[in-house]
Homo-oligomer: A and B are copies of this chain.
């Protein structure tokens, strides 16, 4: 047994960190998030495409590196709270490959290189507050209906739409489709509600779709959990540094025991999330029978943990943490997005119960 990363994954971590520090420091990404229409850096995503990152989850023969690598990369992206559809794109690439369909394969190839953005439109998204969710339907070569909370739906070149008939690939028509922004409190993660009535291709029938989607859920949970880990890891790092510098009542505030114990709790939750995420990534990598269960566990734990850590990070910074200028709120907000999507905490807990019973 060993817990630390092997050479290959360590190299991936350090090169990813270097890349992100150089190309996507939060100081620069701030202006992209706040000012660009798409909300993220397209050049960076192109570069990630050139380097093969979106295809991380593909089989090794197709340039993939496996779930541990996937978790390592997402953790690093969490540390800089990277804006953009990277996770959604990587999941869509995997799904396109899993369709085993020619049209899908072509889009998969392009999406894996970062040339186009394909994202998945799931039925469940937004369902929590809608009594009935209208599922888009597919007939006569067209997909019709409303997809909601589609991540970066207004920026996507194509959607992979979950319908009762299966997965439908719908390319954005020249005139554009009706995509309406759904601004959430995390302004850096864009969502859209899309009225669809466009030509599409059925790339997976309902049974293929079902089994592929059942496999994408744990991968999505793992990716989101890894990103949450990076988010809280960085928030804690920033906080302990601040507590060592800042003084009040004649002492560095990090010497006050009540604050020290708070930081200890933040570390406990951060390191526990790390154990859970790494264990889930290892289970997925080694094809363990409990991989889906462990992914649900990791996501169910990491969400509330990151919420606690980021909330306390703000609290321990006092007023300055409440300023827009300071970065901490980006982490707090990203936590909320990651917690609510890719299977909310409540749904992951229920999934963990069901998956355990099924083992």
Q: Which residues of A contact B (CB under 8 A)?
A: 256-258, 260-261
Q: Least Cβ distance of A261 to chain B in Å?
A: 5
Please list 6 pairs of residues, one from A and one from B, whose beta carbons are closer than 8 Å in the complex, sorted by A's number.
A256-B257, A257-B257, A257-B258, A258-B258, A258-B260, A258-B261
Q: How far is the CB of A139 from chain B (nearest CB, A)?
A: 45
- A256: chain B residues within 8 A (beta carbon): 257
Instruction: Kindly state the separation between the CA atoms of A257 and B258 in the bound complex, as whole angstroms.
Output: 5
* Main SS class of interface, A: helix
Task: Pick the 6 closest A-B CB pairs, nearest first.
Answer: A257-B257, A257-B258, A258-B261, A258-B258, A256-B257, A258-B260
Residues of B within 8 A of A257 (CB): 256-258
Give Cα A257 to B260, complex, Å: 10
Contacts of A261 in B (CB 8 A): 258
> In this complex, what residue of B is CB-closest to A255?
B257
Whole-angstrom CA separation of A260 from B261 in the bound complex? 12
Bound state CA distance, A258 and B261, in angstroms?
A: 7
Bound complex: CA A258 to CA B260 (Å): 9
**Chain B neighbourhood of A258, CB < 8 A:** 257-258, 260-261
Q: How far is the CB of A312 from chain B (nearest CB, A)?
A: 14
Taking the closest CB of chain B, its distance from the CB of A256, in whole angstroms, is: 6
